[in-house]
Amino acid sequence: MNNWQIAAWLMLGGSTVLLFIGMPVALTFISINILGAWLYMGGEPGLIQLARSSVSSVAAFSLTPIPLFVLMGEILFHTGLALKVIEGIERLIVKVPGRLSVVAVVAGTVFSAISGSTIATTAMLGSLMLPVMLARGYHPTIAAGPIMAIGAVDMLIPPSALTVLLGSLSGISISKLLIGGVMPGMVLSIAFVLWIIARVSISPELAPEDKDEVRYHGWQRWSLFFGYVLPTLSIFGIVVGALAMGWATPTECAAVGAFATMLLALMYRVLSLDAMVKSLKGTAGISGMILFIILGATTFAQILSFSGASTGMVQFITGQGLSTNFIVVGMMLILIFLGIFVDQVSMMMITLPIFMPLVQSLGIDPIWFGVMFLICMQLGLLLPPHGLLLMTMRGVAPASVTMGHIFMAVVPYVAMSMLLLVAVFFMPSIATWLPQLIG
């Protein structure tokens, strides 16, 4: 066995085993990094270099958007503006089969456009809308499915903290990756709405019509849309518009978005000291976790490269005479398989040190690859048995909703996400058209 093969088994195999037995992600990679630095970077000098690399990895300016994007969502949730947005959307959508499920998808799409936190979107919609749907006679699968599915779409539609993290770790343009997720995210949202309408039209007993539902007319029906939904969506317009026109960097856009969210909350007089403290605490907790993980991921990739494992594996794979498309399909299948067992950050940390050198050596469009990577991570959020959003739904759902219901609820949405992945593979323009349009 060659030296690079031993290094690959030690670093990649060791980290995978530790993750599978339940060790925290950051601790797993820091432990492997210390061992790798000692063995392949010269003992004590290697550990000193590891410490230096760790500091520089989290001091990167490109990571600044992460806490700012997370803060946007935290402010919306803790000030109660999110509730007004849901109510505004609910008043507009009437006489539609599976109305409340459709409302959940539309509201979730709006939150995806202004919140960087996937789990927060699912937890909020699940705790607010799921009990109402169940009380009105909705079947648990038609009630829970859309909430989990649209929470996963949060990863594709900017702003998204995980998209910034992927761009930072992979070296792909963060702004183009953020813009590249817009089209696939919107396609999925529309597909979810059409599926709900078609499914309930065939089997109306899954989502009975509420005869006592209050109907609003005239200005009453539109007041919350113009008063809350439209101003909130304008934040998305500001962030994405500034990115698309090249007027601001992702960091500057994130800062403007966070400021606009706070300004909006101040205008509505809901930005209390308590809400602000909770928002900042939530942001600090999530951002600290992500930055600690980045510290482990960056140094892990450096040690793999220093040991020769990255170069050796790339040369081995490219030397097999496989077509580029075959290699890309293989990478996507590995990501989907990993998504069944590990979280999204672990997927990035295990695969990017090997995948990105392959992408560069084969001349693969990095935006196309990056968007497919995002779709695979989005699938991982929904795949039984350990999908993060399945666990989130279990935590907020009433006892009457079983894990069996939750698993069955996500099946059609997983299928639609798979179809989107296939569509992007055969029609890369779905992912690359918008970034190319903006240059």
Distances in whole angstroms, Cα of residue 31 to Cα of each of 10, 25, 50, 106, 301: 12, 10, 12, 43, 14
Distance CA 11, CA 309 (A): 9
Averaged pLDDT for residues 369-384: 89
pLDDT value for 251: 82
Number of domains making up the chain: 1
∠ at Cα 287 (396, 350), nearest 5°? 90
Contact 246, 438 (CB under 8 A): yes
Round the CA-based radius of gyration of the chain to a whole number and report it.
Answer: 22
Distance CA 367, CA 132 (A): 40
Domain housing 213: 3-438
**Cα–chain center distance at 144:** 19
pLDDT at 259 over 70: yes
∠ at Cα 114 (279, 93), nearest 5°? 115
**Cα–chain center distance at 413:** 15
pLDDT value for 302: 72
**CB neighbour list of residue 427: distance below 8 Å, 6 or more residues apart:** none
What proportion of the chain, given as a percentage, has pLDDT over 90? 18
What amino acid is encoded at 384 in this protein? P
Highest mean pLDDT among 145-154, 224-233, 260-269: 260-269
| Phi/psi at 249 (5° precision) | -75, 165
pLDDT at 1 over 60: no
pLDDT at 112 over 90: no
Averaged pLDDT for residues 312-341: 81
The mean-pLDDT minimum among 84-93, 163-172, 187-196, 239-248 falls in: 239-248
pLDDT value for 365: 93
* pLDDT band per the 50, 70, 90 thresholds, residue 191: very high
Q: Tell me the longest C-alpha to C-alpha distance in the chain.
A: 75
Highest mean pLDDT among 110-119, 136-145, 242-251: 136-145
pLDDT value for 310: 66
What proportion of the chain, given as a percentage, has pLDDT over 70? 91
**Burial classification of residue 248, based on how many CB atoms lie within 10 Å of its CB (0-12 exposed, 13-18 middle, 19 or more buried):** middle
Distance CA 152, CA 43 (A): 43
pLDDT at 424 over 90: yes
Averaged pLDDT for residues 146-171: 83
Distance CA 202, CA 215 (A): 25
pLDDT at 297 over 70: no
Distance CA 138, CA 170 (A): 43
The mean-pLDDT minimum among 102-116, 287-301, 334-348 falls in: 287-301
pLDDT at 17 over 60: yes
* pLDDT band per the 50, 70, 90 thresholds, residue 16: confident
* pLDDT band per the 50, 70, 90 thresholds, residue 413: very high
pLDDT at 54 over 60: yes
Averaged pLDDT for residues 411-433: 94
pLDDT value for 253: 84
* pTM exceeds 0.85 for this model: no
Averaged pLDDT for residues 294-319: 72
pLDDT value for 139: 92
Distance CA 148, CA 320 (A): 40
pLDDT in tens, 210-235: 766 667 777 888 888 888 888 888 88
Highest mean pLDDT among 239-253, 330-344, 405-419: 405-419
Averaged pLDDT for residues 259-287: 88
Distances in whole angstroms, Cα of residue 230 to Cα of each of 50, 201, 236: 48, 30, 10
Distance CA 223, CA 227 (A): 6
* pLDDT band per the 50, 70, 90 thresholds, residue 123: confident
Looking at every residue in the chain, the average pLDDT score rounds to 83
